[in-house]
Amino acid sequence: MTIEELRSLFRDMQDKGLNPMMCDTEVPLYDAAVPCGDPMYCAEDFVESMLLPKELLSIKPEFMVTVRGESMRDAGIATGDVVKVVGIDHPFDGDIVLACIEGEYTLKTYFEDEDGQTWLVPQNEDYKPVLLDGSRRVRLCGRVKEIVKQAPRVPSRLCARAVRRAIKAKDVRSKISEVKVSYVFQEIAPMIKAARLWYAVYRMMADYDVVKVEDFDTFLYMLQKEVPQHEHVPLKVELQRLAVQSFAKPVKLWTPSNAPVRGLRYKSYVEIANKTEELLIS
């Protein structure tokens, strides 16, 4: 891509309200991992550099280092992460700093207590704070400005399990016949003691693609066709009023704290929905 083509691309992006930035500034990326546990040696040489937009960089010197260890876990820094470190004259309480202790490097939180003593504090109770009492040679190399998280790798077995569930559910949906639907209405009808409880049947049938979501007309037509003499037949508006909060979602996402009904009434809806599913897939 030529410079003119790149400028044209940037103009187009700016016209769309975006803020493109050019990665035009080299930042050192140190090859050695900086521990988040006990201090250890960190090589002074780096073998790579990263290109970053100068707009994102400070006027102070900056460099990148990778992380190993779990002592800063509760601060959201884990093994494999890359941290951007910026040079500072003096840290403030709560700053995560890269410190060199007797020639060994570590990441910790800087803290001054009420007696004026300074500490390097881990963010994991399994590790102990380090008191900077002058007995050891300490140099603070910089403050962590940014954390670049390492993308997690999901085990293939979890993906395979999710795929199998999806395929099984699809197979079940494709096998739900009109005869089965009629059977479900007949079996579930005696459990319905109030017209609005039919919403639980509708929602589970929508989850299994027997009816479309919010297609209350079709559901009511099926209901009146299969159990025309039922004493508790809801109006469309009654069902619509229940399609709010977590009840507007698939049944597996319903929650008692975010439902339009509470207590025993909520349990009744869940029981009827679960019974409907049992009948659909049996």
Active-site pick, 71, 128, 156, 177: 71
Active-site pick, 8, 54, 58, 108: 108
Per residue, the 3-state secondary structure of 231-266, as one string, reads: CCCCCHHHHHHHCCHHHHCCHHHCCHHHCCCCHHHH
Q: Are 234 and 247 in contact (CB under 8 A)?
A: no
Whether 108 is catalytic is yes
Sorted by sequence, the CB contacts under 8 Å of residue 219 that are 6+ apart come out as: 198, 202, 205, 206, 211, 239
Which is nearest to 148 in space by CA: 97, 88, 195, 84?
84
Whether 246 is catalytic is no
Catalytic residue positions, numbered:
71, 108
